[in-house]
Amino acid sequence: MAIDLELDRHILQRTSPTEEEIVVNFGPQHPSTHGVINFVTQTNGEVIRRSVPDIGYLHRGLEKIGEQVPYPGYMPFTDRIDYLAAMFANEGYAAAVERLLGIDAPPRAKYLRAIAGELCRISNHFISVGTMAQDIGAATPLTHALRERESVNDLLEELCGARLTFNYHRIGGVAFDVPEGWADKVLRFLDHLDSYIQEWDRLITFNKIFVKRLAGVGIITRAKAIDYGLAGPNLRGSGVNFDIRRDMPYGAYPDFDFNVPVGTGRVGILGDCWDRYFVRVQEIVESSKIVRQALAKLPDGDIQAKVARKLKPEAGEAVGRVESARGEMLYYVVSDGSEKAYRLRVRTGSFMAMGIIEELSSGIMVADLIAIIASLDVVAPEVDR
C-alpha cells in the first residue's frame, strides 16, 4: 500500500503548480481519455503547462498470464491486449510462436490472416477517426463511423463467430475457413465503403472548423517521432515512411500492391494532429484495396499447418512483429523448452505514444490536449496490458 502512495506522489511531484495554476486530473474517468488513463494536468486557466499521463489503471498482468498458460491457450488472452484491433494481437502472438517452433502457416491461412486483419484495421480506424471527431465536438460522424463499423463486425462475426475478441488465429494457421458467399458480401461492403469514404471526407475531414482545430496542433517532427519510438499511423503522420507490412514483409503481404499513406502537412504543418488523422482515413482505403486483392488471389489448401498437440518449442527466443492498427505490435517470447513461455513481452503502439504527451502538452490549450490524445489513437488496455 505504501508503495502505491509513493508512486502517486511521484506523478504529482512532477507537477508543481504555482499560485496561478491548478492541477486537474483528466481521468481516470473522463469522456475523452479513451479508457481509464489519468492525465495529471497542470494548467494556468485554459493554458496547459504540463500534462503527465498516469497509466496503469487497466493493468491486468497479461504478459505474466502468458507465462502461466500453455502456448495455444494464451491466444484468447491476446484479444484483450487491444480489443479494438484484436486480430493483430492474435496475429503477432501467432507469428512469434510460429517462429519459435520453426513452422509456417499455409498460404491460404496467410491470406485469411491478411483479409481478417485488414477488415479489422478498417473497423478500428473507423472508431479512431469517429472518436476523434467526437472529441473535437462533432457528434454525428461518430455514429456514422460506428454504423460502418457494424457492417465490418458483422462480416468478421460471420467469419470467426466474434465481433470484438476474435480469437481467430491459431499457432500455424487460422481457426475457420471462409463461409459460403462471404466473399461476395465483403466485396459488396467494400464497394459501399469506397464511396462512403468520400462522403466522410465531405462530412468531417475537410470541415473548416475541424481543420482549424487540428491543423498545426500537436506537431511531432520526423526526428522527434523516431526519438520517442512512435509507431504506425502516429509515426507515418510525421512523414516517416515506414510500414512493417511493406518494409519487413510477413504473411501474405508481399503479394499485395498497396500504398503506405504518410503525413504531408496538407492543411497545416507536417506532423500535426490532422496529418495523423488523415493517415488513418487513407489507410481505410488502402485496407480495402488489400482485401480486394487477397479475395481475388485467395489460394486453395489447408488453413492450419500440422502442429503437435502439446507445443514444446526448443529453448530459445523469438520475436513476432506485425503492423497493427495502432502501429507495431511486437511479441517477444522466450522458451525454456516447456509447454509455457518462460517470458513474454508485448510492445504496443499506444504505450509508445504515451511518452510524447508530456512534451507536446506544454503551452497548449485544454482543448488541444484532447485533440492530441485523440490523434494518437490511444487505447487504454493496450497501454497497460
Partner 1 sequence: MKISLALDSTSLTRRYPRLAVLVTLFMAFGLPLGLYVAALAVFPFNRPELLNAAAKEWLGWELAASPYRNLVYTGFLLLVAFIAVNYTAVFGGVSTWVERRVAGRMQSRIGPNRTGAAGFLAWVADAVKMVLKEDTIPASADNLLFRAAPYFSMVGLLLPFVVLPFGESTVVADMNVGVFYVTAVTAFVVVGILVSGWASNSKWALFGGIRGAAQVLSYEIPAGISLMVPVLMAGTLSLQGIVRAQGGCPWEWFVFQNPAATVAFIIAVTSSLAEGNRTPFDLPEAESELVAGYHAEYSGFRLAIFLMVEWANMWIMAGLAVTLFLGGWQIPFVSHAVYESARGSGLVPAPTWFLLQVASMLVFIVKTWALVFFFIWLRWTLPRVRVDQLMTLCWKYLVPGAFLCFIVTLLWLLVVPPMAVKITGILLTVFAAALLVKFLRDTRRNIDRVKGDRVDLSNW
Which residues in this chain contact partner 1 in the complex, by CB under 8 A?
22, 24, 30-32, 45-46, 133-140, 143-144, 147, 195-196, 198-199, 202, 204, 207, 209-210, 212-213, 365-368, 370
Q: DSSP code of 313? A: P
Task: Tell me how far, at minimum, the Cβ of 252 lies from partner 1, in Å.
Answer: 32
CA atoms within 13 A on the CB side of 91: 27
- Altogether, the residues listed in the chain come to a count of 385
Residues whose CB falls within 8 Å of the CB of residue 76, separated by 6 or more in sequence, listed in order: 165, 167
Task: Tell me how far, at minimum, the Cβ of 132 lies from partner 1, in Å.
Answer: 10
Task: Tell me how far, at minimum, the Cβ of 108 lies from partner 1, in Å.
Answer: 34
- Nearer Cβ to partner 1, position 215 or 319? 215
- Nearer Cβ to partner 1, position 45 or 355? 45
Closest CA to 23 of 6, 1, 38, 40: 40
- Nearer Cβ to partner 1, position 55 or 136? 136
- Nearer Cβ to partner 1, position 30 or 185? 30
- Nearer Cβ to partner 1, position 199 or 336? 199
Task: Tell me how far, at minimum, the Cβ of 35 lies from partner 1, in Å.
Answer: 14
Beta bridge partners of 268: none
Residue 24 C-alpha cell reads as 486537474
- For the four alpha carbons of 317, 321, 326 and 327, in that order, the dihedral sign comes to positive
Query: Would you list the DSSP string of 101-114?
Result: HT----HHHHHHHH
Question: Rounded CA gap, 374 and 372, in Å?
Answer: 5
- Nearer Cβ to partner 1, position 219 or 244? 219
Question: Rounded CA gap, 330 and 347, in Å?
Answer: 5
Residues whose CB falls within 8 Å of the CB of residue 339, separated by 6 or more in sequence, listed in order: 70, 71, 310, 311, 312
Task: Tell me how far, at minimum, the Cβ of 287 lies from partner 1, in Å.
Answer: 20
- Nearer Cβ to partner 1, position 136 or 262? 136
CA 228 to mean position of chain CA atoms: 17
Task: Tell me how far, at minimum, the Cβ of 188 lies from partner 1, in Å.
Answer: 12
Task: Tell me how far, at minimum, the Cβ of 8 lies from partner 1, in Å.
Answer: 18
Task: Tell me how far, at minimum, the Cβ of 272 lies from partner 1, in Å.
Answer: 14
Helices 107-136 and 366-375 cross at an angle (nearest 10°) of 170
Question: Rounded CA gap, 96 and 50, in Å?
Answer: 38
The SS3 call for residue 143 is helix
Between the two ends of the chain, the Cα-to-Cα distance in Å is: 21
- Nearer Cβ to partner 1, position 164 or 209? 209
- Nearer Cβ to partner 1, position 144 or 222? 144
Q: Burial, 235: exposed, middle or buried (Cβ in 10 Å; 0-12, 13-18, 19+)? A: buried
Task: Tell me how far, at minimum, the Cβ of 202 lies from partner 1, in Å.
Answer: 7
